Amino acid sequence: MELLAVVCLCLLTWSGTTFAAGNGPDVIKMVVKEGDDAILPCSLSTRENIVQKLFDWKRDGQKEVFLYDAGVTYGKDHPGQDEQFKQRVFHFPDQLPFGDASIVIRNTKVTDSGNYTCDFPRLQPRRRGLIELVVDPVLKDRTEENIPGAAPAPVTKILKVTEDGVVLQCEVRGASPKPDVKWQDSDGNVLRAEEPQVSERGGLYYVSLLTTVTKTSTNLFHCVSTQKDIGHRTEEEIYVPERLLEDKSCHEAPMFIGGVFTGIVIVAAVLSVLAAIYITIRRNKGEFK
Ligand SMILES: *[C@@H]1O[C@H](CO)[C@@H](O)[C@H](O)[C@H]1NC(C)=O
Protein backbone atom coordinates (compact mmCIF):
# COMPACT_ATOMS: atom_id res chain seq x y z
CA MET A 1 0.00 0.00 0.00
CA GLU A 2 2.79 2.36 0.91
CA LEU A 3 4.52 1.53 -2.33
CA LEU A 4 1.38 2.42 -4.27
CA ALA A 5 1.15 5.75 -2.50
CA VAL A 6 4.73 6.51 -3.44
CA VAL A 7 4.04 5.64 -7.06
CA CYS A 8 0.98 7.91 -7.14
CA LEU A 9 2.93 10.73 -5.59
CA CYS A 10 5.63 10.32 -8.25
CA LEU A 11 2.97 10.32 -10.96
CA LEU A 12 1.64 13.62 -9.69
CA THR A 13 5.09 15.14 -9.53
CA TRP A 14 5.85 14.00 -13.02
CA SER A 15 2.69 15.31 -14.62
CA GLY A 16 3.25 18.52 -12.67
CA THR A 17 6.64 19.16 -14.22
CA THR A 18 5.48 18.05 -17.63
CA PHE A 19 2.63 20.49 -17.71
CA ALA A 20 4.60 23.36 -16.27
CA ALA A 21 7.16 23.10 -19.04
CA GLY A 22 6.61 24.25 -22.58
CA ASN A 23 4.82 27.50 -21.89
CA GLY A 24 7.93 29.48 -22.71
CA PRO A 25 7.18 31.95 -25.48
CA ASP A 26 10.69 31.72 -26.93
CA VAL A 27 10.98 32.15 -30.66
CA ILE A 28 12.59 29.52 -32.85
CA LYS A 29 14.52 31.11 -35.69
CA MET A 30 15.00 29.25 -38.92
CA VAL A 31 16.71 30.14 -42.17
CA VAL A 32 16.13 28.04 -45.26
CA LYS A 33 17.28 28.34 -48.82
CA GLU A 34 14.63 29.36 -51.30
CA GLY A 35 13.18 26.29 -52.99
CA ASP A 36 13.94 24.00 -50.06
CA ASP A 37 11.27 22.56 -47.79
CA ALA A 38 10.92 24.15 -44.38
CA ILE A 39 9.84 22.05 -41.44
CA LEU A 40 8.27 24.23 -38.78
CA PRO A 41 8.52 22.35 -35.49
CA CYS A 42 5.75 22.41 -32.91
CA SER A 43 5.25 19.81 -30.20
CA LEU A 44 3.37 19.63 -26.95
CA SER A 45 5.82 19.03 -24.15
CA THR A 46 3.25 16.69 -22.62
CA ARG A 47 3.48 14.53 -25.77
CA GLU A 48 -0.22 13.94 -25.41
CA ASN A 49 -2.09 12.43 -28.33
CA ILE A 50 -3.50 15.19 -30.56
CA VAL A 51 -5.17 13.04 -33.20
CA GLN A 52 -8.58 14.26 -31.95
CA LYS A 53 -7.42 17.82 -31.18
CA LEU A 54 -7.33 21.11 -33.04
CA PHE A 55 -4.24 23.04 -34.01
CA ASP A 56 -3.94 26.10 -36.14
CA TRP A 57 -0.92 27.54 -37.93
CA LYS A 58 -0.99 31.21 -38.92
CA ARG A 59 1.56 33.58 -40.38
CA ASP A 60 2.00 37.06 -38.96
CA GLY A 61 -1.14 36.54 -36.93
CA GLN A 62 -3.57 36.56 -39.84
CA LYS A 63 -2.68 34.43 -42.88
CA GLU A 64 -4.19 30.95 -42.59
CA VAL A 65 -1.36 28.52 -43.20
CA PHE A 66 -2.67 25.19 -41.95
CA LEU A 67 -5.44 23.87 -39.76
CA TYR A 68 -5.97 20.42 -38.33
CA ASP A 69 -9.21 19.59 -36.57
CA ALA A 70 -9.54 15.98 -35.43
CA GLY A 71 -8.54 14.55 -38.77
CA VAL A 72 -9.87 17.30 -41.02
CA THR A 73 -7.47 19.72 -42.71
CA TYR A 74 -8.01 22.58 -45.13
CA GLY A 75 -9.44 21.44 -48.43
CA LYS A 76 -12.70 21.11 -50.30
CA ASP A 77 -14.79 20.71 -47.17
CA HIS A 78 -12.88 23.19 -45.11
CA PRO A 79 -12.13 26.44 -46.96
CA GLY A 80 -10.14 29.34 -45.58
CA GLN A 81 -6.53 28.46 -46.28
CA ASP A 82 -4.54 31.28 -47.80
CA GLU A 83 -3.96 30.86 -51.57
CA GLN A 84 -0.22 31.12 -51.03
CA PHE A 85 -0.13 27.94 -48.97
CA LYS A 86 -2.58 25.75 -50.90
CA GLN A 87 -1.19 22.32 -51.75
CA ARG A 88 2.16 23.25 -50.21
CA VAL A 89 1.70 22.66 -46.48
CA PHE A 90 1.45 19.25 -44.88
CA HIS A 91 1.46 17.83 -41.38
CA PHE A 92 2.93 14.55 -40.11
CA PRO A 93 -0.03 12.24 -39.39
CA ASP A 94 2.13 9.51 -37.84
CA GLN A 95 3.56 11.98 -35.31
CA LEU A 96 0.19 13.21 -33.99
CA PRO A 97 -0.06 10.50 -31.31
CA PHE A 98 3.09 12.00 -29.77
CA GLY A 99 1.84 15.58 -29.61
CA ASP A 100 3.77 16.67 -32.70
CA ALA A 101 1.94 19.33 -34.72
CA SER A 102 4.89 20.22 -36.93
CA ILE A 103 4.25 21.13 -40.55
CA VAL A 104 6.34 21.21 -43.69
CA ILE A 105 6.15 24.00 -46.27
CA ARG A 106 7.25 22.56 -49.58
CA ASN A 107 9.27 24.52 -52.12
CA THR A 108 9.62 27.68 -50.04
CA LYS A 109 9.47 31.13 -51.59
CA VAL A 110 10.97 34.33 -50.24
CA THR A 111 7.40 35.51 -49.63
CA ASP A 112 6.92 32.67 -47.12
CA SER A 113 9.22 34.50 -44.70
CA GLY A 114 7.44 35.63 -41.58
CA ASN A 115 6.46 34.86 -38.05
CA TYR A 116 4.50 31.63 -37.75
CA THR A 117 2.40 30.62 -34.78
CA CYS A 118 1.28 27.14 -33.92
CA ASP A 119 -1.77 27.37 -31.70
CA PHE A 120 -3.85 24.91 -29.72
CA PRO A 121 -6.81 27.19 -29.01
CA ARG A 122 -8.91 24.56 -27.24
CA LEU A 123 -6.28 23.21 -24.87
CA GLN A 124 -6.15 24.27 -21.25
CA PRO A 125 -3.78 25.90 -20.57
CA ARG A 126 -3.71 27.26 -24.08
CA ARG A 127 -0.40 26.56 -25.77
CA ARG A 128 1.38 28.34 -28.58
CA GLY A 129 4.65 28.06 -30.45
CA LEU A 130 6.36 30.85 -32.35
CA ILE A 131 8.73 30.38 -35.26
CA GLU A 132 10.43 33.05 -37.29
CA LEU A 133 11.11 31.77 -40.77
CA VAL A 134 13.45 33.49 -43.18
CA VAL A 135 13.59 32.17 -46.72
CA ASP A 136 16.85 33.31 -48.21
CA PRO A 137 17.43 33.42 -51.97
CA VAL A 138 21.15 34.08 -51.48
CA LEU A 139 21.83 30.78 -49.73
CA LYS A 140 21.47 29.30 -53.21
CA ASP A 141 24.87 30.65 -54.15
CA ARG A 142 26.59 28.60 -51.49
CA THR A 143 27.09 25.68 -53.81
CA GLU A 144 29.42 27.76 -55.95
CA GLU A 145 32.86 27.75 -54.34
CA ASN A 146 36.25 28.89 -55.49
CA ILE A 147 38.10 25.60 -55.14
CA PRO A 148 36.74 23.27 -57.81
CA GLY A 149 35.06 20.31 -56.19
CA ALA A 150 35.65 21.60 -52.69
CA ALA A 151 32.54 20.97 -50.64
CA PRO A 152 30.49 24.03 -49.85
CA ALA A 153 29.62 24.55 -46.20
CA PRO A 154 27.10 21.92 -45.14
CA VAL A 155 23.51 23.04 -44.78
CA THR A 156 21.99 22.03 -41.47
CA LYS A 157 18.40 22.05 -40.40
CA ILE A 158 15.94 20.74 -37.88
CA LEU A 159 13.97 18.08 -39.67
CA LYS A 160 11.46 17.04 -37.05
CA VAL A 161 10.84 16.39 -33.42
CA THR A 162 10.26 12.77 -32.57
CA GLU A 163 9.75 10.68 -29.44
CA ASP A 164 13.47 9.99 -29.28
CA GLY A 165 14.70 13.52 -29.80
CA VAL A 166 15.18 16.15 -32.47
CA VAL A 167 16.16 14.91 -35.91
CA LEU A 168 18.82 17.06 -37.56
CA GLN A 169 19.75 16.93 -41.20
CA CYS A 170 23.08 17.88 -42.67
CA GLU A 171 23.45 18.21 -46.40
CA VAL A 172 26.60 18.68 -48.43
CA ARG A 173 25.72 19.53 -51.97
CA GLY A 174 28.05 19.06 -54.87
CA ALA A 175 31.49 17.98 -53.64
CA SER A 176 34.34 16.03 -55.24
CA PRO A 177 36.12 13.97 -54.03
CA LYS A 178 33.39 12.44 -51.91
CA PRO A 179 33.27 14.21 -48.56
CA ASP A 180 33.20 12.46 -45.21
CA VAL A 181 30.29 13.95 -43.28
CA LYS A 182 29.87 13.70 -39.52
CA TRP A 183 27.69 15.12 -36.78
CA GLN A 184 29.46 16.25 -33.61
CA ASP A 185 28.40 17.78 -30.33
CA SER A 186 30.01 20.98 -29.13
CA ASP A 187 32.80 19.01 -27.42
CA GLY A 188 33.75 17.43 -30.72
CA ASN A 189 32.37 13.98 -29.92
CA VAL A 190 31.11 12.23 -33.03
CA LEU A 191 27.39 11.52 -32.73
CA ARG A 192 25.65 8.38 -33.83
CA ALA A 193 24.00 9.04 -37.16
CA GLU A 194 21.98 7.16 -39.72
CA GLU A 195 23.63 5.71 -42.82
CA PRO A 196 24.49 8.70 -45.03
CA GLN A 197 22.45 9.09 -48.21
CA VAL A 198 24.91 9.64 -51.04
CA SER A 199 24.09 10.45 -54.64
CA GLU A 200 26.28 11.50 -57.51
CA ARG A 201 25.47 13.89 -60.32
CA GLY A 202 27.94 15.13 -62.91
CA GLY A 203 30.90 13.84 -60.90
CA LEU A 204 29.80 15.72 -57.78
CA TYR A 205 28.62 14.03 -54.60
CA TYR A 206 25.56 14.99 -52.63
CA VAL A 207 25.49 13.71 -49.08
CA SER A 208 22.67 13.85 -46.55
CA LEU A 209 23.19 12.71 -42.97
CA LEU A 210 20.54 12.47 -40.25
CA THR A 211 21.10 12.27 -36.54
CA THR A 212 18.77 12.33 -33.56
CA VAL A 213 19.90 14.55 -30.71
CA THR A 214 18.82 15.05 -27.14
CA LYS A 215 19.58 17.83 -24.67
CA THR A 216 23.23 18.76 -24.07
CA SER A 217 24.83 21.52 -22.02
CA THR A 218 24.95 23.84 -25.06
CA ASN A 219 22.33 22.38 -27.43
CA LEU A 220 24.81 23.21 -30.20
CA PHE A 221 25.63 20.62 -32.83
CA HIS A 222 28.11 20.68 -35.68
CA CYS A 223 28.06 19.06 -39.05
CA VAL A 224 31.59 18.59 -40.32
CA SER A 225 32.49 17.77 -43.90
CA THR A 226 36.04 16.73 -44.70
CA GLN A 227 37.72 15.87 -48.00
CA LYS A 228 41.02 14.40 -46.90
CA ASP A 229 42.51 14.15 -50.40
CA ILE A 230 42.33 17.89 -50.95
CA GLY A 231 42.71 18.87 -47.29
CA HIS A 232 39.41 20.67 -47.24
CA ARG A 233 37.19 20.92 -44.18
CA THR A 234 34.03 22.91 -43.68
CA GLU A 235 31.47 22.85 -40.93
CA GLU A 236 28.19 24.33 -39.95
CA GLU A 237 26.75 24.79 -36.50
CA ILE A 238 23.13 24.49 -35.53
CA TYR A 239 21.41 25.48 -32.31
CA VAL A 240 18.43 23.44 -31.21
CA PRO A 241 16.06 25.44 -29.02
CA GLU A 242 15.76 24.13 -25.48
CA ARG A 243 12.00 23.87 -25.88
CA LEU A 244 12.35 21.18 -28.55
CA LEU A 245 14.72 19.13 -26.43
CA GLU A 246 13.13 19.38 -23.03
CA ASP A 247 11.11 16.76 -21.19
CA LYS A 248 13.12 13.87 -22.54
CA SER A 249 13.35 12.63 -18.95
CA CYS A 250 9.62 12.95 -18.47
CA HIS A 251 9.05 11.18 -21.72
CA GLU A 252 10.86 8.23 -20.20
CA ALA A 253 8.54 8.44 -17.21
CA PRO A 254 5.54 6.58 -18.63
CA MET A 255 7.76 3.62 -19.48
CA PHE A 256 9.28 3.74 -16.02
CA ILE A 257 5.88 4.00 -14.39
CA GLY A 258 4.78 1.15 -16.63
CA GLY A 259 7.77 -0.75 -15.28
CA VAL A 260 6.80 -0.02 -11.69
CA PHE A 261 3.22 -1.13 -12.25
CA THR A 262 4.34 -4.24 -14.05
CA GLY A 263 6.65 -4.87 -11.10
CA ILE A 264 3.80 -4.48 -8.62
CA VAL A 265 1.57 -6.77 -10.64
CA ILE A 266 4.31 -9.41 -10.81
CA VAL A 267 5.06 -9.13 -7.08
CA ALA A 268 1.33 -9.34 -6.30
CA ALA A 269 0.99 -12.38 -8.57
CA VAL A 270 3.98 -14.11 -6.97
CA LEU A 271 2.65 -13.30 -3.49
CA SER A 272 -0.80 -14.71 -4.27
CA VAL A 273 0.74 -17.87 -5.70
CA LEU A 274 2.90 -18.23 -2.58
CA ALA A 275 -0.13 -17.56 -0.38
CA ALA A 276 -2.13 -20.12 -2.31
CA ILE A 277 0.65 -22.69 -1.94
CA TYR A 278 0.99 -21.87 1.76
CA ILE A 279 -2.74 -22.22 2.33
CA THR A 280 -2.84 -25.44 0.34
CA ILE A 281 0.05 -26.85 2.36
CA ARG A 282 -1.63 -25.83 5.61
CA ARG A 283 -4.86 -27.39 4.50
CA ASN A 284 -3.17 -30.56 3.38
CA LYS A 285 -1.28 -30.75 6.66
CA GLY A 286 -4.61 -30.32 8.47
CA GLU A 287 -6.11 -33.13 6.46
CA PHE A 288 -3.24 -35.49 7.16
CA LYS A 289 -3.14 -34.81 10.86
C1 LIG B 1 8.91 38.72 -36.92
O2 LIG B 1 8.46 39.67 -35.96
C3 LIG B 1 9.46 40.55 -35.51
C4 LIG B 1 8.87 41.38 -34.41
O5 LIG B 1 7.60 41.88 -34.77
C6 LIG B 1 9.96 41.39 -36.70
O7 LIG B 1 10.97 42.25 -36.27
C8 LIG B 1 10.51 40.43 -37.76
O9 LIG B 1 10.92 41.16 -38.89
C10 LIG B 1 9.48 39.41 -38.15
N11 LIG B 1 10.12 38.43 -39.00
C12 LIG B 1 9.83 38.27 -40.28
C13 LIG B 1 10.65 37.25 -41.01
O14 LIG B 1 8.92 38.86 -40.85
C-alpha 186 to ligand 1 mean position (Å): 29
Nearest residue CA, atom 13 of ligand 1? Answer: 114
What is the C-alpha to C-alpha distance for residues 121 and 110, in angstroms, rounded to an integer?
29
Predicted confidence (pLDDT) at residue 60 exceeds the cutoff of 90: yes
Whether residue 209 is predicted with pLDDT greater than 50 in this model: the reply is yes
Q: What is the DSSP letter of 9?
A: H
* Atom 4 (ligand 1) nearest CA: 115
pLDDT digits (tens, 9 = 90+) for 75-113: 777 888 999 999 999 999 999 999 999 999 999 999 999
- CA 60 to ligand 1 center in whole angstroms: 8
What distance in angstroms lies between residue 134's CA and the mean position of ligand 1's atoms?
9
Mean pLDDT throughout 61-87? Answer: 90
Ligand 1 atom nearest to 134, measured from its CA: 13
Q: pLDDT tens digit string along 5-44? A: 333 333 332 322 222 234 445 688 888 888 888 989 898 8
User: What is the pTM assigned to this prediction?
Assistant: 0.47
Average pLDDT, the chain: 80
Cα(first)–Cα(last) distance of the chain, in Å?
37
Residue ranges and CATH numbers for the domains of the chain are: 2-136 (2.60.40.10), 143-245 (2.60.40.10)
CB 166 within 8 A of CB 151: no
Please state, as a whole number, how many other Cβ atoms lie within 10 Å of the Cβ of residue 158. Answer: 22
Q: Whose CA is nearest to atom 5 of ligand 1?
A: 115
Give the percent of the chain with pLDDT over 70: 77
**Residue 149: band (very low, low, confident or very high) from pLDDT cuts 50, 70, 90:** low
Percent of the chain with pLDDT over 90: 44
CA of 157 to the centre of ligand 1 (A): 20
Q: Which atom of ligand 1 is nearest to the CA of 113?
A: 13
Is residue 145 very low, low, confident or very high in pLDDT (cuts 50, 70, 90)?
A: very low
Integer Cα distance of 90 and 173 in angstroms: 25
pLDDT classification of 260: cutoffs 50, 70, 90: low
Reported as a single tens digit per residue, the pLDDT across 162-202 is 989 999 999 998 888 889 999 999 999 999 999 999 988 87
Average pLDDT of span 129-142 = 77
